[in-house]
Amino acid sequence: MEHARAALRWLLALAYAYAGYRHLATPAPFLAITPPWVPQPAFVVAATGVAEIAGAAGLLFPTMRRTAGWALALYALCVWPANVHHAVHHIAIGGTTLGWGYHAPRLAAQPLIIWWALWTSGAIEWPFGRRHARERARRP
């Protein structure tokens, strides 16, 4: 199970590092989906890019891993309104409006992304921890 956790942690770190880079290199799509109530959207988009890169790096260092997991989980929760705003207001990105075939799975995946950050960082063991604890208890 630890090999799977490590592989998924690296995958998540790569995904967040890439997303952070995109926030900084091409902020226009992220600015477009930022809800109007967010103050200083350009600063917020840049800050979220830095946060994603920092969180990705944190996942790779054992001493920072759990903190990074909690931070990325909180981050994913905090950016959820932008994803909802994007979906509900049919905001076009690069001239393309994405339908509910994209938005529904994307919105539904957000809790999975939150769990992924927590589990791969070791912040939580659910749902695998209980089973493994029983298996360890059975070993001589």
Q: Which pLDDT band holds residue 139 (cuts at 50, 70, 90)?
A: low
Mean pLDDT along residues 56-67:
96
Averaged confidence pLDDT in the chain? 90
CA quadruple 108, 114, 119, 123: dihedral sign: negative
Rounded Cα gap, residues 42 and 97, in angstroms: 22
| Least confidently predicted of 57-61, 84-88, 126-130 | 126-130
What is the pTM for the complete model shown?
A: 0.84
* 72-85 per-position pLDDT tens digit: 999 999 999 999 99
